[in-house]
Amino acid sequence: MYTEKRRLTSQDVKRISIIANIIIISLFIVLLFLFWNIQILKNQHYAKLATGNVRKEIIIKAPRGMILDRNHERLSENKISFNLVLIPDYTENLNRAIDTAARLTGMTKKEVNDTIEKYKDFSKSYAIPLKKDLTLAKAIYIESRADELPGFEINIEPVRDYPYEGMASHILGYISELTPRELEKKMTEGYRLGDVIGKSGVERTYEQKLRGVDGAKNVEKDNLGKIRVVLGEAQPTIGNTVVLTIDMELQKFIEEIFKEYNGAIGVVDLKTGGILAMVSTPNFNPEFFSGVMEKTQWEALVNDPAKPLQNKFVQSLYLPGSTFKVVMALAALQENIIQFSTTSLCSGVIDIYDRQFHCWNRGGHGNMDLYEAIANSCNIYFYRLGKRMDIDTIAQYAKMMGLGQPTGIDLPNEKAGIFPTRAWKLKTLKQKWFAGDTVSVAIGGGLIQVTPAQILSMISAVALRGRTPQLHLVKQIEKDGLVIEEFQPQFREVPISRENFEIVIEGLYRVVNENGTGKAGKIESLDICGKTGTQLILSLENPRYEQLVKQKRFTPHSWFASFAPRYNPEVAMVVFIENGGEAGAVAVPIAKKIYQKIFNRQ
């Protein structure tokens, strides 16, 4: 029955099956060779890729060290922030993930895109921070839907918190994320993208102390980024605690009475040189910088003419005005040009080198010795000193007293200022020194530029009769509650005789206590010594002086540099107010309130 159906001969079948067998055998040999190549010869290559797929390192950010005041009040600490991050590798579709991200964060798609774009050169498994400081509710919402949101994760990170909000902001400074340029330089120090760094204030100066050591967790993650196994974990180490010399109670008091003004105040503990309070107004809230700052917010801060980001105490330069008469008096005494008893007649105006120079008191002070000249801040007396002294000699004394050079305080970007000399003028302005220039310098005018910190350093040296304390903000560094580093008080000797200091101090005493320019500062039970300075913006020689001076921008700057008590001085203080007006009426009463607070006297 089947034979009639057969057309294939047995030879045909044999031939076909031999060929088929040869084909099959060779196919299997080729296949075995193929898999041998992939699994055995290239095993290491693929094993590495497989490990790379699953093994991931998760950085655990270290909390930054705290900043405390001298009484261990917390000025800067950490709180928990929930951040939304996106890992492109674990998304199924990046465009859809961008839509989801926009929905979750309330950002626009473009903003999300721009954020992701910043990280385009990074590995696809890098966690891109999309939004910081989510609400707890939102963080829980996202975390609980992790399975539906592949690629999204909530990172818990410590962020800076400032319990006193905007207070002491110029001392503390602020932190913010490293810019890509900074990152390039700092990569070797272990900074990563998204890390923060101190940008100003103590946060910046003590960056290395405050910064902790990040921890890491080695995990195995699945294709959706879910952690399956934790292989190892290194705990982060919190940064060291920085304890300031600041007394927050005093700081707070000063900030409150000074907040309407535009200027700077510094109070120093003369026993150590530690700053007790330092205010620069207007200030800013450092928390601004920790979160996501709007571009407009940033621009408003930068472009504000009152310069809230600038620490006027160390970063702004002004003419010292009459406070400089302290240095002039010391120089003249030390150079034996005058004695305390040397008198001079003030008639309100004087002709020097065919030019008229006025006293602020147009009616004239009459005949005065040095004490009276200081107490009344008589310009004529000091013009005459300027006429009799050489500028380079004056400059030498100014330098001794710390003017025109940084104080070396532990704050970033301190300005040096300028104290002019012949050589300096020739080099910088390509001009010869004129005798008239010295006359202007003699009353703290002309080309001098100093910071309020330098004036504080100068008055401190006077108070200590020739010992300049090193100004500083940090008392000690602590780790786990133990002091690991302490600031030792340092003093620099000024080669001026003690007698001459006593003479000048008598003048400074009279300024406040014997009807001088600072009489508004008198406190019965406290011997305050100080020197006012009303630095005119307009020249007294300006014919429209009386008219223009009423405008705010032409109102004189107001200085008061002082210390107390006269003997065994404890604190020195500088009060400076931009366009504040008459020093005796503005700066002095503020200083008085601060002294009352410090010494608890009425």
Q: Which residues bind other proteins (CB under 8 A)?
A: 2, 5-8, 13, 16-17, 20-21, 24, 27-28, 31-32, 34-36, 38-40, 42-43, 45-47, 49-51, 53-54, 94, 220-224, 228
Looking at the Cβ atoms of 17 and 551, the one nearer to other proteins is: 17
The alpha-carbon radius of gyration of the chain (Å, integer) is 36
Give least dist CB 122 to other proteins, A: 15
Looking at the Cβ atoms of 5 and 432, the one nearer to other proteins is: 5
Under a CB-based contact definition with an 8 Å cutoff, are residues 595 and 564 in contact? yes
Give least dist CB 59 to other proteins, A: 21
Residue with tokens 């630095």: 535
Give least dist CB 231 to other proteins, A: 12
CA 454, chain centre distance (Å): 18
Give least dist CB 219 to other proteins, A: 11
Looking at the Cβ atoms of 187 and 227, the one nearer to other proteins is: 227
Looking at the Cβ atoms of 42 and 355, the one nearer to other proteins is: 42
Query: Helix 379-388 crosses helix 325-334 at what angle (to 10 degrees)?
Result: 50
Looking at the Cβ atoms of 125 and 343, the one nearer to other proteins is: 125
Could you check whether the bond before residue 565 is cis, i.e. omega within 30 degrees of 0?
Answer: yes
Host H or E run for residue 298: helix 295-303
Q: Label the pairing between strands 241-244 and 67-68.
A: parallel
Tokens coding 277: 């309070």
Give least dist CB 140 to other proteins, A: 21
Could you check whether the bond before residue 282 is cis, i.e. omega within 30 degrees of 0?
Answer: yes
What distance in Å separates the CA atoms of residue 433 and residue 173, rounded to the nearest whole number? 41
Give least dist CB 300 to other proteins, A: 42
Burial class (CB in 10 A: 0-12, 13-18, 19+), 212: middle
Q: CA of 582: how far to CAs of 198, 256, 361, 500, 586, in Å? A: 38, 21, 13, 28, 6
Looking at the Cβ atoms of 6 and 79, the one nearer to other proteins is: 6
Give least dist CB 151 to other proteins, A: 12
Q: How many CB atoms lie within 10 A of CB 388?
A: 13
CA 562, chain centre distance (Å): 26
Looking at the Cβ atoms of 226 and 479, the one nearer to other proteins is: 226
Looking at the Cβ atoms of 21 and 356, the one nearer to other proteins is: 21
Amino acid in position 579 = N
